[in-house]
Amino acid sequence: MALLAGRTVLLRAGVRLGAEAATRGGNGARRFASHRVLVEPDAAAGIATIKLKNPPVNSLSLEFLTELIICLEKLENDKTFRGIILTSDCPGIFSAGLDLREMCGKNPAHYAEYWRAVQEIWLKLYLSNMVLVAAINGASPAGGCLMALTCDYRVLADNPRYRIGLNETLLGIIAPFWFKDNLVNTIGHRAADRALQLGLLFPPTEALQVGMVDQVVPEDQIHSTALSVMSQWLAIPDHARQLTKSMMRKATADHLIKQREADIQNFVSFISKDSIQKSLQVYLEKLKQKKH
């Protein structure tokens, strides 16, 4: 049943997809992978595990986002799958969030195209008919946290280095209203107000306390826990769960859908400001110098 999905990918035609391959897995399910998005299907269970593989830090570049969007569309349209486990193939990092290089030193047309892709991945994940479980096996700042927040359930590996949160203000930028809406829906208004203003990145114990994640488990149990959570969610009849999900999420998604173009224009004019470009460059430079 396609209650929420079936949306169109509004991206530049001709964005190159890296060497996509489709083969049959041992259980007969189609296994497809692109350069950066690995899909491990378990057709018998109706579950696909998506592993993000854009080293070193799974930053969400335009190409990576495009591959992910296409992958999600394929899974959404394939009746074999009722659930997705979203995790990372990069050790210690779930995702470093949006790729800062896509937001620095480019032209307005590029910023607009990039932002449309960011909106699209959020809508695809947030409105998916499938059960989405995030198996967060690494650090998860900003856009990485947002991806996890779109999921129905979040399991975080217990490692103090794996901090999660919307830290945009630390970069001198602002989380857009739909990031904020998603966070408020997850942890409530007061906690979100504080977390957003301070750009808080929560270590596992605090993330659990504030409700940013649903469970914290030892790192070696993250996949088995995600599978067991998934089977619990898949025990619910699809139509009932999907209609309920739609009821809970539609207003938040519509908030963005209704003003998508204006949101792109806001982003382009904000990110193009000299002062913002300067802040992002300084932040990127600090990241690079951290090692030396």
Ligand X SMILES: CCCCC/C=C\C/C=C\CC/C=C/CC(=O)SCCNC(=O)CCNC(=O)[C@H](O)C(C)(C)COP(=O)(O)OP(=O)(O)OC[C@H]1O[C@@H](n2cnc3c(N)ncnc32)[C@H](O)[C@@H]1OP(=O)(O)O
**Residues acting as catalytic residues:** 98, 143, 167-168
Measured in whole angstroms, how far is the alpha carbon of residue 102 from the centre of its chain?
Answer: 17
Q: Give the whole-angstrom CA distance, residue 157 versus residue 193.
A: 25
Cβ nearer to ligand X, comparing 59 with 137: 59
Question: Site for ligand X (CB under 6 A): which residue of 6, 56, 108, 211?
Answer: 56
Question: Site for ligand X (CB under 6 A): which residue of 41, 46, 83, 176?
Answer: 176
Q: Give the whole-angstrom CA distance, residue 210 versus residue 22.
A: 41
Contact status: 59 vs ligand X (CB under 6 A): yes
Cβ nearer to ligand X, comparing 206 with 238: 206
Cβ 251 vs Cβ 4: under 8 Å: no
Contact status: 212 vs ligand X (CB under 6 A): no
Query: Tokens for 187?
Result: 């942890």
Cβ 7 vs Cβ 123: under 8 Å: yes
Minimum Å distance from CB 160 to ligand X? 12
Minimum Å distance from CB 240 to ligand X? 34
State the Cα angle at 48 between 42 and 52, rounded to 5°. Answer: 135
Contact status: 122 vs ligand X (CB under 6 A): no
Contact status: 288 vs ligand X (CB under 6 A): yes
Cβ 62 vs Cβ 69: under 8 Å: no
Positions of E strands within the chain = 21-24, 30-33, 37-42, 47-52, 83-88, 92-93, 131-136, 138-141, 153-157, 164-165, 215-217
User: Is residue 240 within a helix (H) or strand (E), and if so which, with residue range?
Assistant: helix 238-257
Contact status: 120 vs ligand X (CB under 6 A): no
Contact status: 168 vs ligand X (CB under 6 A): yes
Contact status: 199 vs ligand X (CB under 6 A): no
Minimum Å distance from CB 243 to ligand X? 31
Question: Site for ligand X (CB under 6 A): which residue of 96, 131, 164, 264?
Answer: 96
Q: Which residues bind ligand X (CB under 6 A)?
A: 56-57, 59, 93, 96-101, 139, 141-143, 167-168, 171, 173-174, 176, 266-267, 270-271, 284, 287-288, 290-291
